[in-house]
């Protein structure tokens, strides 16, 4: 038996979140570009590179979200949810390329420190970036809590880190300008590069997990077993399999029922189990196969949970 979920209520939220990300990244690129040109700070350059990548990632997310929300068709019976992790994987590879560039510029600045100019504009732009980013993250967090979108979640993760990145830029500009420690700018540039690389790895890991159909975590699987076995008519269950694809979760398992139960009764029990599991995992398709209790004695090779 299968439960199908209606994504119509989530589509506007996800698309607005994706467009909001594009808007914020575009505004910050312009502001940081002006500030970097005026100050020459490599730490600010790192922040500018990160915002440029944010825009690229946000545009990819917008495409991925639009694709993922498309309903199943004849060629994609399970939907288009894996457009999200594919986008995340592409994002992470692009971001790693930027890390190499930023690290190289930071090392050059460490070897040959340069005085910074007009640091005030860099600080003001970074404060402005923090304010805009906080607003975006709050909205994205709201959308993720409603939709569990991997693409929006990955985008939000990166922007959350941007808050610390912009704080690091402010620190670098203040220390360099007030204490004449020119090497600090290059050092902070390397720290920012390390942070960006870590963010890229987190996005890559999550994307690969979904593309490889990784099982739900143990806590969720245990919860499914608890819900199923909580039905008094269920004598046992086995072959629990789970995976995610975009907004969709896929849950399938066998339930073991009284072998003397007729087909109508078995169907009713399966409906009850389906409704119970679906209530706790509302964005999932649930496939249940009914077996007569004791089947594992006939097929002892099957795994029983």
**CATH number of the domain within which 108 lies:** 1.20.1510.10
The 8-class DSSP code of residue 281 comes to S
Task: Note whether 121 and 143 are same-domain residues.
Answer: yes
Task: Note whether 179 and 233 are same-domain residues.
Answer: no
Residue 224 lies inside a defined structural domain of this protein: yes
Task: Note whether 152 and 285 are same-domain residues.
Answer: no
Which CATH number do you get for residue 290?
Answer: 3.30.70.1350
Residue 216 has pLDDT above 80, yes or no: yes
Task: Note whether 135 and 176 are same-domain residues.
Answer: yes
Residue 174 lies inside a defined structural domain of this protein: yes
Task: Note whether 30 and 178 are same-domain residues.
Answer: yes
pLDDT per position as a tens digit, 282-302: 778 899 999 998 765 545 444
Query: Among 124-138, 143-157, 200-214, which stretch is predicted with the lowest mean pLDDT?
Result: 143-157
Task: Note whether 190 and 290 are same-domain residues.
Answer: no
Share of the chain above pLDDT 70, in %: 86
Spatial separation of the C-alpha atoms in residues 84 and 298, rounded to whole Å: 42
> Domain boundary at 160, 178, 211, which?
211
Evaluate the CA torsion angle 96, 101, 106, 107 in order and state its sign.
positive
Task: Note whether 151 and 204 are same-domain residues.
Answer: yes
pLDDT per position as a tens digit, 38-56: 877 777 787 788 788 778 8
Residue 69 domain boundaries = 11-211
Residue 176 has pLDDT above 80, yes or no: no
Residue 5 lies inside a defined structural domain of this protein: no
> Domain boundary at 150, 181, 211, which?
211
Task: Note whether 153 and 284 are same-domain residues.
Answer: no
Spatial separation of the C-alpha atoms in residues 217 and 209, rounded to whole Å: 11
Residue 3 lies inside a defined structural domain of this protein: no
Task: Note whether 203 and 253 are same-domain residues.
Answer: no
pLDDT per position as a tens digit, 80-129: 677 777 877 877 777 787 778 778 877 877 887 766 666 778 788 889 98
Task: Note whether 207 and 244 are same-domain residues.
Answer: no
Task: Note whether 110 and 20 are same-domain residues.
Answer: yes
Residues 6+ apart with CB under 8 A from 52: 25, 29, 98
> Domain boundary at 155, 176, 211, which?
211
For range 161-168, the mean pLDDT: 74
Residue 2 lies inside a defined structural domain of this protein: no
Q: What is the CA 115 to chain-centroid distance, rounded?
A: 39
Our count of domains for the chain comes to 2
Task: Note whether 173 and 264 are same-domain residues.
Answer: no
């Amino acid at each position: 038996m299968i439960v199908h979920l209606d994504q119509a209520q989530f589509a506007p939220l996800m698309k607005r979140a994706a467009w909001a990300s594009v808007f914020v990244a575009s505004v910050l690129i312009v502001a940081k570009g002006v500030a970097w040109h005026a100050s020459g700070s490599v730490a600010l350059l790192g922040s500018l590179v990160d915002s440029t990548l944010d825009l690229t990632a946000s545009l990819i997310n917008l495409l991925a979200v639009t694709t993922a929300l498309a309903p199943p068709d004849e060629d994609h019976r399970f939907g288009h949810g894996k457009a999200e992790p594919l986008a995340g994987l592409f994002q992470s590879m692009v971001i790693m390329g930027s890390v190499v560039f930023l690290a190289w510029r930071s090392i050059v600045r460490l070897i040959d420190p340069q005085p910074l100019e007009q640091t005030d504009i860099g600080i003001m732009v970074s404060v402005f970036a923090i304010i805009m980013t906080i607003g975006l993250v709050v909205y994205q967090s709201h959308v993720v809590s409603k939709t569990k979108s991997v693409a929006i979640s990955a985008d939000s993760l990166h922007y959350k880190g941007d808050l610390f990145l912009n704080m690091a830029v402010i620190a670098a500009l203040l220390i360099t300008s007030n204490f004449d420690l020119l090497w600090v700018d290059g050092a902070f540039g390397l720290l920012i590069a390390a942070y960006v690389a870590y963010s890229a790895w987190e996005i890559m890991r999550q994307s690969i997990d979904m593309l490889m159909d990784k099982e739900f975590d143990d806590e969720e699987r245990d919860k499914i077993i608890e819900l199923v076995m909580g039905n008094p008519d269920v004598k046992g269950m086995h072959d629990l399999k789970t995976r995610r694809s975009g907004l969709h979760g896929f849950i399938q398992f066998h339930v073991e029922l009284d072998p003397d139960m007729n087909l109508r009764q078995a169907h009713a029990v399966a409906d009850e189990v389906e409704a119970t599991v679906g209530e706790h995992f509302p964005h999932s398709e649930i496939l249940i196969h009914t077996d007569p209790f004791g089947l594992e004695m006939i097929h002892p090779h099957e795994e029983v949970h």
